[in-house]
Chains A and B, each alone.
Chain A
């Protein structure tokens, strides 16, 4: 109930005489009583009472009441809405179908029985009399024919001498076009008194973008829209998936979350001479062409997939149903495997385990296993090693491994291997470790792992161990190479040495003032160190090539720290490893600068401990570029107080350090060092420390990998898989950035749920981005609509919140986007074009609108004399004498006709 009717409250005091009432009259008065009650209550009270909300419609409620008359029972329903804005807008989706059809406010109908024509009209007049008695302006409807035809007749008291007669009929299938034409003509001729009849015309056409069936070959929507270059290759293969070139497609193919779009084209009011409209309405097909001054174009488009039914969205995004396959679903399975792993001591238990285990996890055939191992170990391109691409800044805080690293790729494979059961994981892991061991034994570089650099302690331990192994293998290979080149059995790697000498020779020839002294050959120089001159010899200082700090995994660090803390107060700890590094640096420095003194070393290594007299040189460090072209010699200055103290430990080390280039030094990666009193692994007896340490640490790593507890493995796999999956999705390019907020994570299950939400949103964003490549603001707008709609359910395990809430956001198409939108309607293929036979026109690129809504109305000037005395509110004005509302698809078109007549 809206506007006018709510204001005119009925009077309750007036008296009705029922004494002579027939059963017919009693029936009328019963209806009247109910109507009065409903009128008196108003929407708010009715809501409190027993109004029922209509399904999926925001703001439409109904109440009903039942009556008996002549052994039959009838049901009367009253539909009303609570938003009292007083205006009925065209195209308002919240209205009941009858309201739409007749443009009236609150329809009322008796339904539920099949009525024949006399019964229907009798019933209608009963309601009409009842409504008239209580001065109610509600229109009333009764159904005619079979309910499936949805045909009604109706009547509305206008509060004047006019009564509006209403008729709604459905047209079916083949005869639609002809009947529609006939109806139009009938409408036109219904009042032939004038030659020029002006008719108001409104039309809303709904187009739906073509949906690609599986049989249909996917076509690029438009050369302008998609990046054609990317897809050329794919198209030659015939069938392509929409997400073929998205980063997740290596692992799974997702269903396109955006099924299509609906385009609403609206011509608001056109007033024209009727014959013009009859001639032209069918030609109104391409809104772009007629967006001239006389037609107001009001197009909207919206995401049909989400709009269709609010519940679809929720089911799609539902958590535990497992219907959608994605990273989230697999991570769920991995977490389950983690739970199971806590009972077992050995990975092997899961392979040869009990029957129940065997039945629970299917292990893929060996061919699949081979393919996975081949991908992991053999099909590695250089580009894949750049691990930082697409890595989210917060993914570092997840203790996993970089996306392209060996272990991260292992985890991603494991997610999809045999449905990620613990048994499949165990099988894959055992083969994985076997392959890693093979790499070591055959001195093959470990794929997807850097063979140098420092070990990143923020990654998981397995990744650190693999990095360690890669470094060892690399050292071993260099050693092997050295043996091939040289004939002696020294530790020196000759290839390396030759490389090292090149820069020193080069710089020696550049050093003008440098005299050649064969006895003190420079060895292992990395180039000149800024503009610094030695103190005691007029030579340019060279920075030495130094040994890399030894690769250490975090458990090795733990070991050191624990040892230090155990000694605690009683012992002034100073790291033996650091002392070794310092001694190594000093040896290398001596080798690179044969005439250097301790002070020279300090000037290079710890510039702050050299107090320079020449103020210009303050702050020169080994990293500074050459600034001073003319160098004064000798440099003047002194060591800092603390460095020149008696018994300074630096000087002690300096005095003991032999001049030795890094390449000839004992490696820092030495298992014999310091607190590691672990029993040595078997040594080949060669005595070569490089080999010894590599063998030792490699054996260490392999032992760790081979005896890893299932639980430890799964724990690291979960972290790494989460991170790798997130990084993979994060490589998707789209404008909006959804990121995983690791602060909100409470437990793994919830994390999985959140992950699923994010995954869906990323897919959605990717899809929108692809479709609106040239119009990012539209993609952005759509996405943020979806995001806002979806946000309240984020982070909750249950996505079944307010399922009645519908997603119905639309975006207005601006003129610059029109070509893009039209381009989405690709011309129909041959097998689709049969539909044209039934076409009623209004084609957009050959596409019939899926839904039409057309309103024709005609107004007549009515003079004052026509008004009934009791309706002072209505003044002289045009009233709508004829109104035709056409609505539906071309196969199911309903025509509603309202004719106002003078009784």
Chain B
């Protein structure tokens, strides 16, 4: 994945990505590592954070709008609105789920909380889910095996990758793989394609297909 600094104004697709998971698993660090090649201890996210990155994948110019949510329970009712696959121009909602390999309960929360949140709030049935095991640099503290991660991903139909925001191992690959998968999914592409102004209040296209043409 080549990062194009300088943010060109044109792009073929706009994809909206969302990061969810327990607090402290390193979502913000991963995002920072991806967007600015840097690693630092960040203040815990308050509610939500947002970053944009332009990339070129598979010959397509992409604008990635990445929403980074706080894991604290208190913020959860609010962050639910970020699952919606809607923004001004073009949409392709993608959700990445995280767990921290150094903490056992972040793994169990994946199925207890986060998978359910996706089911409940996601408005796009085809959205690509990706499980990212962060902090592989702390191999000695590992509490969740790679196999467990793979098993979970298989059960919930996710992509799976292990990475480290600190060492930047697999960070680019993580986003690249996710984006490639979106590019392979026609329904997501249609929503994310540039130039088509979509009715953002529309949750599912079929109900209003007949009307799109006659809409003012």
* Chain A residues engaging chain B, CB cutoff 8 angstroms: 335, 338-339, 342, 397-399, 454, 457-458, 460-461, 546, 549, 552, 554-555, 557-558, 561-562, 564-565, 568-569, 572-575, 577-579, 581-582, 585, 605-606, 608-609, 619, 621-623, 640-643, 645, 647-650, 653, 709, 711, 715, 718-719, 722, 742, 745-749, 751
Tell me which residues across on chain A come within 8 A of B210, comparing CB atoms: 335, 338-339, 747-749
Q: How many Å lie between the Cα of A883 and that of B87 in the bound state?
A: 84
Q: How far is the CB of A548 from the nearest CB of chain B, in Å?
A: 8
A121 → chain B, closest Cβ, in Å? 71
Separation in Å of the B32 CB from the closest CB of chain A? 10
Q: How far is the CA of A621 from the CA of B81 in the complex (A)?
A: 24
Instruction: Give 17 CB contacts A-B under 8 Å.
Output: A339-B210, A342-B214, A454-B77, A554-B81, A554-B86, A558-B88, A561-B86, A568-B52, A578-B75, A579-B47, A585-B74, A605-B74, A606-B23, A711-B216, A715-B208, A742-B206, A745-B207
Provide the bound-state CA to CA distance between A399 and B201, in Å: 9
Closest to B209 in A: A747
Given known contacts A399-B204, A558-B86, A649-B43, is B23 in contact with A609 (CB within 8 Å)? yes
* A582 and B203 within 8 A (CB): no
B84 touches A557 (CB 8 A): yes
Q: How far is the CB of B176 from chain A (nearest CB, A)?
A: 20
| Residue-wise interface mask of B (22-56) relative to A, using a CB-CB cutoff of 8 A (1 in contact, 0 not) | 11100000000000000001111111111110000
When distances are taken between beta carbons in the complex, the residues of chain A under 8 Å from B43 are: 642-643, 645, 647-650
Q: Which of B1-39 contact A (CB under 8 A)?
A: 7, 22-24
A579–B47 alpha-carbon span in the complex (Å) = 7
How many angstroms between the C-alpha atoms of A528 and B55 in the bound complex?
Answer: 50
Query: Which residues of B have CB within 8 Å of A574?
Result: 45-49
B180 to chain A, nearest CB (A): 23
Q: Give the Cβ gap from A350 to chain B, nearest Cβ, in Å.
A: 16
Stretch of B65-73, B129-137, B155-163 contacting A (4+ beta carbons < 8 Å):
B65-73
The reply to whether A605 and B123 form a contact with Cβ atoms under 8 Å apart is no
A569: B residues at CB distance < 8 A: 7, 51-52
Q: Which residues of A contact B125 (CB under 8 A)?
A: 397
B81 touches A606 (CB 8 A): no
Contact A338 B46 (CB under 8 A): no
* Complex partner residue of B47 from A557, A577, A641, A643, CB under 8 angstroms: A577
Q: What residues of B have a CB within 8 angstroms of the CB of A557 in the complex? A: 81, 84
Q: Top 6 nearest A-B pairs by Cβ distance?
A: A578-B47, A342-B214, A399-B203, A745-B206, A608-B24, A573-B50
A605 shortest CB reach to chain B, Å: 6
Residues of B within 8 A of A (CB): 7, 22-24, 41-52, 65, 70-75, 77-78, 80-82, 84, 86-88, 103, 105, 121, 123, 125, 200-204, 206-211, 214-216
Whether B70 and A609, one on each chain, are in contact in the complex, defined by CB atoms closer than 8 angstroms, is no
Alpha-carbon separation in the docked complex, A143 to B40 (Å): 104
Distance in Å: Cβ of B119 to nearest Cβ of chain A? 10
* A582-B215 contact given A399-B202, A605-B72, A641-B41, CB 8 Å threshold: no
Is there contact, CB below 8 Å, between B84 and A564?
no
Known: A605-B72, A606-B72. A709 touches B216 (CB 8 A): yes
B51 surroundings in chain A (CB, below 8 A): 569
- Residues in B neighbouring A546, C-beta threshold 8 A: 74
Given A562-B88, A747-B206, decide whether A711 and B49 contact each other with a Cβ distance below 8 A: no
A457 touches B81 (CB 8 A): yes
Q: Which secondary structure dominates chain A's binding surface?
A: helix
Is A549 in contact with B77, judged by CB distance below 8 angstroms?
Answer: yes
Most buried by A among B70, B125, B201: B201
Q: Which residue of A lies closest to B71 (CB)?
A: A608
Known: A399-B202, A457-B84, A577-B78. A608 touches B22 (CB 8 A): yes
Q: From residue B131, how far is it (CB to closest CB) to chain A in Å?
A: 19
Whether A573 lies near B44 (C-beta < 8 A) is no
The listed residue (B24, B48, B82) touching A640 by CB distance below 8 A is B24
How far is A748 from B212 in the complex, measured between Cα atoms in Å? 12
Cβ–Cβ < 8 Å partners of A454 in chain B: 77, 80
Q: Check if A338 sits within 8 Å of B211, measured CB to CB.
A: yes
Residues of B within 8 A of A338 (CB): 210-211
Q: Given A608-B22, A748-B209, A748-B210, A397 and B203 touching (CB < 8 A)?
A: yes
Q: How far is the CB of A453 from chain B (nearest CB, A)?
A: 10
Cα-based distance from A582 to B200 in the complex (angstroms): 29
Smallest Cβ-Cβ distance to B84: which chain A residue: A457
Q: Which residues of A contact B211 (CB under 8 A)?
A: 338, 342, 711, 715
- B46 and A582 contacting across the interface, CB-CB below 8 Å: yes
Q: Which chain A residue has the least Cβ–Cβ distance from B54?
A: A569
B44 x A565 contact (CB < 8 A): no
**Complex Cα–Cα for A397 and B88 (A):** 21
- Whether the Cβ atoms of A643 and B44 lie closer than 8 Å is yes
Contact residues in B for A460 (Cβ distance below 8 Å): 201
Q: How far is the CA of A558 from the CA of B87 in the complex (A)?
A: 7
The answer to whether A609 and B44 have CB atoms under 8 Å apart is yes
Structural contact, B22 and A561, CB atoms closer than 8 A: no
For the complex, what is the distance from the CA of A653 to the CA of B43, rounded to whole Å?
A: 12
Known: A558-B200, A711-B214. 11 other contacts (CB 8 A): A338-B210, A342-B211, A342-B215, A398-B204, A399-B204, A555-B201, A561-B86, A575-B46, A578-B46, A709-B216, A715-B211
* CA of A738 to CA of B103, assembled, Å: 44
In the complex the two chains form, what is the Cα distance from A735 to B47 in whole Å? 46
Residues on B with C-beta less than 8 A from A577 are 47, 78
Q: How far is the CA of A884 from the CA of B41 in the complex (A)?
A: 101
Shortest beta-carbon distance from B78 to chain A in Å: 5
The smallest C-beta distance from A280 to any residue of chain B, in angstroms, reads 66
CB of A575 within 8 A of CB of B81, answer: no
**A723 (CB) vs chain B CBs: closest residue:** B207
Q: Are A565 and B202 in contact (CB under 8 A)?
A: no
B84 x A554 contact (CB < 8 A): yes
| Chain A min CB distance to B68 (Å) | 10
A458 CB contacts on chain B under 8 angstroms: 121, 123, 203
Residues of chain A within 8 A (CB-CB) of B105 are: 619
User: Would you give the shortest CB distance from A52 to chain B, in whole angstroms?
Assistant: 44
**In the complex the two chains form, what is the Cα distance from A747 to B128 in whole Å?**
26
Closest to A555 in B: B201
**A161 CB to nearest B CB, Å:** 76
A454 to B77, CA, bound (A): 8
Query: Is the CB–CB distance between B47 and A608 below 8 Å?
Result: no
Per the bound structure, the CA–CA distance linking A643 and B46 in Å amounts to 12
Q: How far is the CB of A199 from chain B (nearest CB, A)?
A: 67
Which residues of chain B come closer than 8 Å to A643, judged between CB atoms? 43-44
Whether the pair A650, B200 counts as a contact (CB closer than 8 A) is no
| Inter-chain contacts of A748 with B (CB < 8 A) | 207, 209-210
Determine which of B23, B42, B78, B123 lies in contact with A578 in the assembled complex, contact meaning CB atoms within 8 Å. B78
Residues of A within 8 A of B77 (CB): 454, 549
Q: How distant is A246 from chain B, measured CB to nearest CB, in Å?
A: 26
Q: How far is the CA of A643 from the CA of B23 in the complex (A)?
A: 12
Query: Closest approach, in angstroms, between the C-beta of B209 and any C-beta of chain A?
Result: 5
Smallest Cβ-Cβ distance to A722: which chain B residue: B207
Asked if B48 and A575 make an inter-chain contact with CB atoms under 8 angstroms apart, the answer reads: yes
A461 to B86, CA, bound (A): 14
Contact of B41 among A573, A622, A645, A742 (CB under 8 A): A645
Q: Is the CB of A565 within 8 A of B88?
A: yes
User: When chains A and B are docked, how far (Å) is the Cα of A600 from the Cα of B201?
Assistant: 42
- Considering the chains assembled together, what is the distance between the CA atoms of A787 and B40 in angstroms? 63
**Chain A residue nearest to B86 in the complex (CB):** A558
Question: In this complex, what residue of A is CB-closest to B213?
Answer: A342
A719 to B206, CA, bound (A): 10
B34 to chain A, nearest CB (A): 13
Bound: A92/B48 CA distance, A: 74
Given contacts A582-B47, A748-B209, A751-B206, contact A562 B41 (CB under 8 A): no
Q: Taking the nearest CB of chain A, how far is it from the CB of B88, in angstroms? A: 5
Q: Which residues of A contact B65 (CB under 8 A)?
A: 565
